Chains A and B, each alone.
Chain A
């Protein structure tokens, strides 16, 4: 089983990198082959909004950079982890640059999910999605927005399972493990 971590930590944020290492270790113990993308170190251009990944080079962004590799890694995973400082309730810019480039994984054609319009699948199988958000201290509204955003992304991305947790920067390693371990079981329901 493959797992991909998208690390959206901004420059100098060592806490996010420590969390990434913790997650990598936990994933390996749980039997995954984990990979991590430290997105701030990757040259990933912004999505141009041109939709050519749907209408000109279907399934492939016209920009030939690491954004393509990240999308390939995502769709070939059983579990994807969005690891990010909670930024006004949403994802950091570093995570967002990769997430925006992932619409090539969907079909342009429409479908209905729970009475709402969404895009059809391009692939047969999509990964489960786990959001791991980081805040300096508890912030109920932003935690709620982060959790809603993960749920909304899971619908858009046809994720069979999803979950989200928010941790605060004051937690030590055992406390972080205690939060992350149960969250990682998000995927067990489909691939025990």
Chain B
């Protein structure tokens, strides 16, 4: 099996550049792949889908890569709108080519709930996409409790990022050799970095504090659409 030389990362979060957990995860993997000599480029989905020219840039980047990395947030149990749109375009583009270059594909999902298995359906969708687009599926990584990781590089996230970093290190080593995502990396990535009860307690406090800061603490349970039809 040939070792990959080039990689393209698509960040499937539409948050501003530098803000998303997907960028922290995908960006870290790209750095580690660079340590193994891979050259890479990064596309943000909101930019890539903003104009035909930019979408064409993404399609061309996937075509010339040996490895396509998709890092995305879970939105309502599946991939976000713009990410689905990007995948629709990539699949159609590759299906239209007679001899599309072989490209490997790895997906990294993160979700807000602490249990990583919420991402299972989204990763199953990624796998079907790979088949439809003629990409070689190398595996998917799934992380729960992802929300707190947004906005900074993983190396600056402290102890909570230890497992994630270990999982991505293992993944980079395997992918750089042309192997698939190791089971050990999948297992480490899916392990919650803190007890679920603690995470939901802190999360609830976080929403309250944010509501208080925004002056809507007492309206957090508002029902603006209630009884419009009754």
By a CB distance below 8 angstroms, the chain A residues around B38 are none
Contacts of A96 in B (CB 8 A): 75-76, 78-81, 84
CA distance A117 to B79 in the complex (A): 19
Given the complex of chains A and B, what is the CA–CA distance between A100 and B14 in angstroms?
Answer: 12
| Contact A90 B84, beta carbon cutoff 8 Å | yes
Report whether B204 and A109 are in contact in the complex, using a CB–CB cutoff of 8 Å: yes
Q: Which residues of A contact B81 (CB under 8 A)?
A: 46-47, 93, 96-97, 99-100
Residues A47 and B80 in contact in the complex (CB < 8 Å), given A116-B113, A117-B113:
yes
C-alpha gap A116/B230 in the complex (Å): 32
Number of A-B contacts (CB under 8 A): 152
- Size of A's binding interface in residues, CB under 8 A: 51
Q: A96-B84, A141-B128, A149-B78 are in contact. Are A76 and B219 (CB under 8 A)?
A: no
Judged by DSSP, the binding face of A is mixed
By the criterion CB–CB under 8 Å, are B77 and A117 in contact?
no
Query: Is A185 in contact with chain B by the CB < 8 A criterion?
Result: no
Chain A residues whose C-beta falls within 8 Å of the C-beta of B118 in the assembled complex? 116, 152
Stretch of A20-28, A53-61, A173-181 lying at the B interface: A53-61
A145 and B20 CA atoms in complex are apart in Å by: 27
Min C-beta distance of A154 to chain B, whole Å: 10
For the complex formed, measure the closest distance between the CB of B121 and the CB atoms of chain A, giving whole angstroms.
Answer: 5
A148 in contact (CB, < 8 A): yes
Further contacts, 14 of them, CB under 8 A, given A46-B82, A58-B222: A46-B80, A47-B75, A55-B207, A55-B211, A72-B225, A87-B88, A88-B125, A88-B128, A89-B121, A99-B76, A100-B75, A100-B76, A108-B220, A152-B121
Binding site for A on B (CB under 8 A): 13-15, 20, 46, 73, 75-82, 84-85, 87-88, 91, 113-115, 118, 121-122, 124-126, 128-129, 132, 196, 200, 203-204, 207, 210-211, 214, 216, 219-230
Chain A residues at the B interface, C-beta cutoff of 8 Å: 2, 10, 46-51, 54-60, 71-72, 75-77, 87-93, 96-97, 99-100, 102-103, 105, 107-110, 116-118, 122-123, 141-142, 145, 148-149, 152-153, 156
